[in-house]
Structure 1
Amino acid sequence: MPSLRQIATPLTIGAFILSTVTGVLMFFHLDMGLNKAAHEWLSWALVIGVVLHLSVNFRAFRGYLKRPVARGLIAGFVILLAASFLPLGGGGSPVAAVMQGLGQAPVAQVVALAGAESEQVTERLQAAGYMAEAEQTVADLAGGDRKVQAEILGLIFQK
């Protein structure tokens, strides 16, 4: 059985490669297939690898914390992390606001906004398993599930 030391570094390196490549692809909107899911779920392997790597190399890690440059870099990233939780002045993403507004609107209004024929949209929704009523909101039709809501909106706006 391999030792923890033999596993920690290769696990960290492999998970870092996966997380980095999928993250860069997502940043440039070039991700496809399971890239996003792999990035979100398999990045836990990076967390585990780093924890194992730190546990095996804790003495060396403590040595880094004694160096001013290392402490400054680590502190800088901790500050950036804290700042990432601050709300943006503009109130967030306009796309999220539009999606929320469309979700709260009655299906008939969203169909009219899409410039679509009511009967065609009703048929598409029924074919996908959604029994929509004109005054029902998209959010109600989706049962509060945002992924389902996006699917329904996709069906309504489908050309």
Structure 2
Amino acid sequence: MIRYTKRDVATSFTAVAFTIIAVTGVMMYFHLLDAYTKKLHENLGLFFVAAALLHMYANWGGMKNYFRKSLFHIAIALGTVVSLGFILTAETGKNPKNYVINSVLNAPIESSFVLFDKDTQKLRDKLDKAGIVIGNSANINDIAKANHTSPFKIITIIEK
């Protein structure tokens, strides 16, 4: 039976996770297969953190020596400056997707219904058939609240 040390396990899993995180990060930068890579990158990122912590634990004696070196302190300072540079210069404006979604959900019913079908009566009939009461609701959000459901369920019904 083969026995592995903590160091063997920690290093192997850290190296594999790092490689996948690096590849998916580059793919995300170039917007390659975004729908697939984002989820993998985010979830494996959590696994990578756990593997890295295990790696530090298994190699703590050697790690302490690195912490004393001036190169380590330079790397920490440089990493901090670069990170702060990205954080402080990030765009903080409104997310255009949220703006569009909220505009549609809060627009008058007739205006938002036109986006889905020119025949707004047909959409009203679809909602009625699904048991959704429009009543005096002013917009899709109001319809959803009055029917104790999600506005996205309302859109799903009218999109069928």
State TM-score, norm by structure 2. 0.66
Cα offset for 1:132?
A: 7.4
Residue by residue, what CA displacement relative to the aligned partner does 1:104-140 show, whole Å, maximum 9, x if unpaired?
334432233x37322565678789x794747342486
Aligned counterparts of 1:130 and 1:22: Cα–Cα separation in 2: 44
Alpha carbons 2:105, 2:139 under 8 Å: kept: no
* Secondary structure of residue in 2 paired with 1:65: helix
Unaligned runs of 5+ in 1: none
Equivalent residue letter for 2:42 = E
* Secondary structure of residue in 1 paired with 2:68: coil
Q: How does 1:5-154 map to 2 (within 5 A)?
A: 5-31=7-33, 34-81=36-83, 88=90, 90-112=92-114, 114=115, 116-117=117-118, 118-119=120-121, 131=132, 133=134, 135-138=138-141, 141=144, 149=152, 152=155
Alpha carbons 1:103, 1:138 under 8 Å: kept: yes
Aligned counterparts of 1:103 and 1:45: Cα–Cα separation in 2: 37
Cα offset for 1:47?
A: 0.7
* Secondary structure of residue in 1 paired with 2:33: coil
Cα offset for 1:144?
A: 8.4
Deviates more, 1:90-99 or 1:37-46: 90-99
Higher Cα Rg: structure 1 or 2? 2
Cα offset for 1:12?
A: 0.6
Equivalent residue letter for 1:6 = D
Aligned counterparts of 1:107 and 1:7: Cα–Cα separation in 2: 59
Unaligned runs of 5+ in 2: none
Aligned counterparts of 1:33 and 1:106: Cα–Cα separation in 2: 33
State TM-score, norm by structure 1. 0.66
* Secondary structure of residue in 2 paired with 1:116: coil
Deviates more, 1:3-12 or 1:97-106: 97-106
Q: Percent identity?
A: 22
Aligned counterparts of 1:78 and 1:139: Cα–Cα separation in 2: 46
CA RMSD after TM alignment? 3.9
Equivalent residue letter for 2:97 = V
